[in-house]
A and B are shown apart, each in its own frame.
Chain A
Amino acid sequence: MICRMRYEKRDEVKYIGHLDTMRTFTRCIKRTNLPVKYSGGFNPRVQLSFALPLGVGVTSECEYVDLELQDDADIEPVEIVKELNEVLPEGFRIVSATKIEESKSLMSLVKEAIYEISILLTNENAEEIVNRLNTLFEKPNLLIEKQTKNKRQEQVDIKEMILNVKNEIVNYCTVRCTIHCLAGSEKNLNPNLVVELINNELGKNMEDFEIHRKGLIL
């Protein structure tokens, strides 16, 4: 049996990278008495599968993880949530869980994602910024330099990966750009590229941006 859980990764733990997050979950599960299933072999491991990795420094309210339980496990998802939340460090919280039958890997199910990019303003006019962003995203091409795997620079057009954009004023010193985009193993938009795009346009500092994953669509 597989238990699919949705969890949040908040501010306190946002700098924990993907591998470290995986390790943290494994260890926390080992601290509970949950009837989890171990892999075979000489180094049996807790069977966890995560959805799309979250970048370092990004918070999220919509992360998914599948945990495999022993076949005869007689436990309700709510109990799993309760037990896990007791041992997870502050900043991680399981919000919901459901039992599912055999499934393809979570990663392969990811289709789209929604990110909120908060832009901290120093002395710019919020309304003007929103207008500039609107114009920016209306361009037919959104070109950005990207480093390829073999360390070369390459120009990519991220326009085709963006499904929807909304720019709005949050308060007088924050503007929020919500991006609905393609995600997953096929085509994936790294939100950092969007930040870079916006930064190129507005000429701010990378420190003035916060990224939050609002949703992940399976």
Chain B
Amino acid sequence: MKNILKVVEKPIRYTGEEINMCKKDPSKVKIRYAFCFPDVYEIGMSHLGLRILYDLYNRREDTYCERVFAPWVDMEKQMREHDIKLFALESKDEIRNFDLIGFTLQYEMSYTNILNMLDLAGIPLLSKDRKDGMPFVMAGGPCAYNPEPLADFFDFFVMGEGEEVNMEINDLYIKWKEENKSRKEFLEMVSELEGVYVPSFYEPVYQDDGKIKEYKILNIHAKNKITKRIIKNLDTLTYPEKWLVPYLKVVHDRPMLEMFRGCIRGCRFCQAGYIYRPVREKSKEKLEQTANVLIQNTGYEEISLTSLSTSDYTHFHELAGELIKTMKPKNVNLSLPSLRIDSVSLKLLDEVNQVRKSGLTFAPEAGTQRLRDVINKGITEEDILHGCDLAFRSGWNTIKLYFMIGLPTETEEDLQGIVDLADKIVEVYYAIPKKERTKGLSITVSASTFVPKPFTPFQWCGQNDIETIKKKQDYLKKHLTNKAVKFSWHEPEISVIEAALAKGDRRQCEVLQNAWKLGCKFDSWGEFFNYEKWLQAFEKSNLDIRYYTERKMDLDEVLPWSNIDIMVSDKFLKREYQNALDEKVTPNCRVKCNGCGIQDCPVR
């Protein structure tokens, strides 16, 4: 192990020992927990969920939680050559001897890495092949809401926020171990917990046309529906105050201050907007206090406010103002991502940004008001143009615009709308007297491909086929001709696989295994993604990928994720789908409750 570190790139990905790393004597704990993030260190360490659970587990005296990331390809090669099994960062012990292995599922394109990590760990890939004495392999995170494409690999899944349920699982584990029961009995025990899904207790039955007929329940302990877990009052939670400080520059290299969970907006393509409902805020006082502790414990030069749509925090401006005041004497910057751009927020950005006027971001997502109404993106052309005007006048010259192409009901007019909007922004810029604007206007139009996601009003929608997406991209390439405007796009193939996995059913477990055997890994990394191999993987299992990606599902069809309940009703999602087709907007939750089905909603 020592020697292979000498020949790999960035060995500190594997050495741990960061400031605030948790050290425990493994022989003194009852549970050894491996928190696995199926991507490289720099990405995994930027993830708030890891920080929260790492801290929470390690606050327990009976548990030692350690981190595991996907070894980069050079490290994997060395490990395989020297027969070194996947180990945890803290103790360097092999995780195959741990009690619980938990993966976080943040994006579909990390799924092959999970198989690869299990294989590197020397743990059987399939849940059914794991024997007594082997760890239980569990998963949580946003992608767990459709657990089916991964069902065969995991012993159980956790739905929703993990702070409480994971602790309950640990308690049960200790009890189970003391009572010397069988593996199956442990699964029965956890399946009685709210929010835990044991896939082997459910069997999908298919119709002749390939659609799911029903799920058969195979064990009396299994519930009909698994309801996600949420924390009612976020102020009752502890926060990872002993924030780990990586040596390596990671993607988000600053402590994050989570202001609230959920989002009031209800954009119809956005899964996060539904699965994290309802909105729950932390108190301003608690946040200020936490911010100070985080800075004291880490010595970071920057701290960021994070949440889905940061400016929607009720006391946002007071909080930001307060933080700027307390952080300034400590020479700490405040980073404010995902702000809605208006005069107040520009003033705020002015304060935190000082001289560096880096780019401003708008996410209209669609080019025309009609399509923005379809997707319920509550931002108007006027908002954007006005925001740009203000921004240009206060010194900004770089604007980024995010769009999605392939949205339901999209026509050429909507693509032209993207072009027109970019051109109008250019006009706004030139309408400002030369002296009052910074020169060097640069507008980037970035277009991603729409991926329909479970638990959104668009979950029934199909995705455009690759040819159509490419044609749409070509249209934009051809028409975005202004020299101040740059167009950026991605090859749509990754989005196709993402859609297939997002909406996949249990038959895709085999596809995943095929893909992994064909060498797929790090699929979210352009340099490794191999579309041909993925297509082969589907073919090998006799599955038509288009069945998953392009097919419009029936509204009354049994969805692969129908065992899961996110507390938002099916009726509401259907109503929202119809509203989309009718081009009707739904106001945000603070304007009016739209009766999405959440019980005891604090916003209402």
Query: Which A residues lie at the B interface, using CB under 8 A?
Result: 12-13, 15-17, 20-21, 23-24, 26-31, 38, 42-45, 56-57, 87, 89-91, 206-207
Contacts and interface: CB of A to CB of B under 8 A. Distances in A.
Interface in B285-310: 295-301
Interface in B1-34: 3-7, 11-12, 15, 17-19
* Residue from A15, A38, A87, A91 with most neighbouring chain B CB atoms (10 Å): A15
B5 A15 contact: yes
Given A12-B15, A43-B301, A207-B6, 18 more contacts: A12-B17, A13-B17, A13-B247, A16-B247, A23-B247, A23-B249, A24-B245, A24-B247, A27-B245, A27-B301, A28-B299, A30-B295, A30-B299, A38-B331, A42-B356, A45-B331, A89-B19, A207-B7
Contact of B17 (A42, A44, A90, A207): A90
Contacts of A13: 17, 247
Contacts of B330: 30
- List of 6 A-B pairs having minimum Cβ-Cβ separation, nearest first: A27-B299, A30-B299, A15-B11, A207-B3, A31-B299, A42-B354
Contacts of B296: 31
Interface residues of B, number: 28
A21 B301 CA distance: 15
A89 B5 contact: no
Given A15-B15, A42-B354, A207-B7, A20 B331 contact: no
B355 interface: yes
A20 B299 contact: no
A29 B245 CA distance: 14
A125 to B, nearest CB: 22
A206 B3 CA distance: 9
A6 to B, nearest CB: 21
Contacts of B5: 15, 57
Contacts of A31: 19, 296-299
Nearest to A88: B19
Interface in B337-382: 354-356
A100 B299 CA distance: 26
Contacts of B518: none
A24 B248 contact: no
B7 A91 contact: no
Contacts of B356: 42
B18 A57 contact: no
A42 B354 CA distance: 7
6 contacts: A23-B249, A26-B299, A43-B354, A56-B11, A89-B18, A206-B6
B19 A28 contact: yes
Contacts of A16: 12, 247
* Residue from A21, A89, A91 with most neighbouring chain B CB atoms (10 Å): A89
A104 B258 CA distance: 45
Nearest to B355: A42
B249 A24 contact: no
B299 A15 contact: no
Contact of B300 (A17, A27, A87, A206): A27
Contacts of A57: 5-6, 11
Nearest to A13: B17
A43 B12 CA distance: 28
* Residue from B7, B15, B356 with most neighbouring chain A CB atoms (10 Å): B15
A45 B299 CA distance: 12
Nearest to A44: B331
Contacts of A28: 19, 299
Contacts of B12: 15-17, 20
Given A20-B12, A26-B299, A42-B354, A206 B17 contact: no
Nearest to B16: A12
Interface string B302-340: 000000000000000000000000000011010000000
Contacts of B6: 57, 206-207
Contacts of B355: 42
A43 B17 CA distance: 28
Given A15-B11, A20-B249, A42-B354, A30 B17 contact: no
Contacts of B301: 26-27, 30, 43, 45
Contacts of A87: 19, 299
Contacts of A12: 15, 17
Contacts of B18: 89
Contact of B298 (A15, A20, A27, A45): A27
Nearest to A24: B247
Given A24-B247, A57-B6, A29 B15 contact: no
A170 B295 CA distance: 46
Nearest to A25: B299
Contact of B247 (A20, A26, A43, A44): A20
A169 to B, nearest CB: 22
A108 B154 CA distance: 58
A24 B321 CA distance: 29
